[in-house]
Amino acid sequence: MAGRRQEVTSAQSSEPGARDRRRTPVALRLATLIPALFVAVLFVWPIVALVRRAGEVGGGSGVGDRLADVDGWHLLGVTLLQAAASSALSLLVAAPIVWLLATVRLRGAAVLRVIVTVPFVLPTVVVGVAFRALLTGPLDFLGVDGGWVAILMAHVFLNVAVVVRVVTAAWLQVDPRTVEAARSLGATPLRAFWDVVVPRIAPAIAAAAALILLFCSTSFGVIVILGNGTARTLETEIYQQAIAEFRIPEAVALSMLQIAVVAGALVVARLVGSRGTVSGVSAAGREGRRPVRGWLWAPVAATLAWLGLWLLLPVASLAVRSVRPDGREWTLAGYRALADTTYGDSALGALRYSVTSALAAMVLAVVIGFLVAVSVTRGGGWAAQVTALLAVLPLGVSAVTLGFGYLLVVSTLPPELSQSPLVIPSVQALLAVPVVAGIMIPALAQVPRGLRDAARVLGARPLWVLISVDVRLTVRSLCAAAGFAFVMAIGEFGATTFLARPDTTTLPVMIGSLMAKPGLDNLATAMAASVVLVTVSAAVIAAIEILGVGGTDSTRSASSTKETV
């Protein structure tokens, strides 16, 4: 019995992370509570404020009556229908690209991954402007300048990366020898694909579809820009009721419905995603990709043209329209107007504030996200799991709903707090923390425990062990996480719209304001500012992908954060 107990004790102590949990100093465990406190203040507090306000709508009318007054149930149906349609279309459009990256050995694959990833991190308001330029430019013959068709196209553009990242990783897990075995038994190529590959990638397909459903059910910037004032969802109606009409009880009722919808979508995404998560890319999957030879050039060329049509043409149209706003004469007036201060702060001033705010948000997000990752990989236990859950929740809640909650909270704070320069960066950091954690958790999990033990034996203090071992070995992933946090922060639009003041207007908020104003000059300035944001976002993603900072796994983690965390 003594020997058995000794074996059990030995086995328990050899479990991954068990030794680290036992030797994690108290100070480090306390430090992991910082993310929970950060999320409690910046996420739980505004949501609780909304819930409390919902209980005070009063006036003889309940939440159901308020929803009926603003046609809330109809808006719920429209929101879910457009999200489901966007999800299905994204799967169809991404399918050839997934095939290309998963089965073909292609030079310049890193460039293709950049092209696929950039739309996912672009500000939604910029995507709306790009599709406005596309549909009133090269695709003007279609007679579609907005509405639901344009919105669905923009949603596909935004979410192709989710399908490509998640499903390609799953496909590369399939051992090509199993497909060859099916072929040797007489199966046709199509039958072998259907019987061998499809069952293995089906969970990843479902996970990607669930994530896109979640993202599109909270879409705001795209619908505001392309909706032509007629397309309405729960998201846009919350903003309309709260800001445009100042009907706070109705906005609160819609927010409660939105929270319920998003919570349900998040549960579905979590349940489906847990089956679709993959641990990495197998060597057999990589080696099984075929070189481009012979007849294979035809489908490869067709897929590249398909990718260019969906992912490059909108950006190219935006760039052309920024220097040809009327569709006839070439001019740099839009770019010159970026420095115009006639009617207040210039677009360049907004860009400077956006960059400053995004850098501050990046630092906050990296610190908080890294602590979440340390808590999960070294702290363990229920407290770490609760911290990780709290950290990922903000990405699953509507940014507009969250912004409305901030509006209620800020109105109760003293001016020195409500007007603090850290308010907007903190909100942006909150939304970037899940991405940082999603990248850093698998990176820290791969750090050998023996290196930490060796550093302790040599007399290193706990903080120096963390810096000299964990940070040093995961610095590339940390840089990738910082890059994604910066891009997400500089493009945040929904929550920032509620909080922006004349001296804290970000560039996405200014673009949305310019697009709402009549006049060719405002359109040209908005498109020029959008090109600037596209350039910044593309440069950061290219640095992450092409220069190998963080590698492919990091970018895949960023686009499937909910599953990773």
Encoded amino acid at 234, one letter = L
Segment 334-359 mean pLDDT: 88
pLDDT above 60: residue 279: no
Top-confidence residue, 273 or 218: 218
Percent of the chain scoring above 90 in pLDDT = 23
Question: Which of 295-299, 365-369, 553-557 has the highest mean predicted lDDT (pLDDT)?
Answer: 365-369
Alpha carbon 487 to its chain centroid, in Å, reads 10
Segment 291-299 mean pLDDT: 82
CA distances from 513 to 408, 414, 492, 517, 528 (A): 22, 28, 14, 7, 14
Please spell the DSSP secondary structure of 304-351, one letter per residue. HHHHIIIIIHHHHHHHHHHH-TTSSS---HHHHGGG--TTSS-HHHHH
Closest alpha carbon to 461 in 55, 172, 17, 469: 469
Whole-number Å distance between alpha carbons of 202 and 210 = 12
Residues paired with residue 518 on neighbouring β-strands, in sequence order:
none
Whole-number Å distance between alpha carbons of 310 and 320 = 16
Task: Dig out the tokens for 533 from the structure.
Answer: 């944001």
What is the SS3 assignment for 291? strand
Task: Dig out the tokens for 253 from the structure.
Answer: 């009722």
Please spell the DSSP secondary structure of 105-126, one letter per residue. E-TTHHHHHHHHHHHHHS-HHH
What's domain 57-289's superfamily in CATH? MetI-like (1.10.3720.10)
Whole-number Å distance between alpha carbons of 451 and 467 = 12
pLDDT above 90: residue 309: yes
pLDDT above 70: residue 125: yes
**CB–CB of 509/351 below 8 Å?**
no
- Given CATH 1.10.3720.10, say whether it is the number of domain 18-46+331-565: yes
pLDDT above 60: residue 505: yes
What is the SS3 assignment for 290? strand
Half-sphere exposure of 209 (CA within 13 A, CB side): 17
Predicted pLDDT of residue 21:
45
What is the SS3 assignment for 184? helix
Instruction: Give the DSSP H or E segment for 448.
Output: none
pLDDT above 90: residue 156: yes
pLDDT above 50: residue 166: yes
Q: Residue ranges of the alpha helices (H) in 227-296? A: 234-239, 248-276, 283-287
Same fold, 18-46+331-565 and 57-289: yes
pTM of the model: 0.80
Top-confidence residue, 270 or 529: 529
Residue 15 CB neighbours (<10 A):
10
Look over the chain and give the mean of its residue pLDDT values, rounded to a whole number: 81
Sign of CA dihedral 129, 133, 134, 139: positive
Task: Dig out the tokens for 84 from the structure.
Answer: 């489901």
Task: Dig out the tokens for 366 from the structure.
Answer: 């990296």
Going from N- to C-terminal start, the domains of the chain cover 18-46+331-565, 57-289
pLDDT above 50: residue 17: no
196: DSSP letter: I
Closest alpha carbon to 122 in 374, 306, 315, 371: 315
**CB–CB of 48/408 below 8 Å?**
no
Residue 57 CB neighbours (<10 A):
19
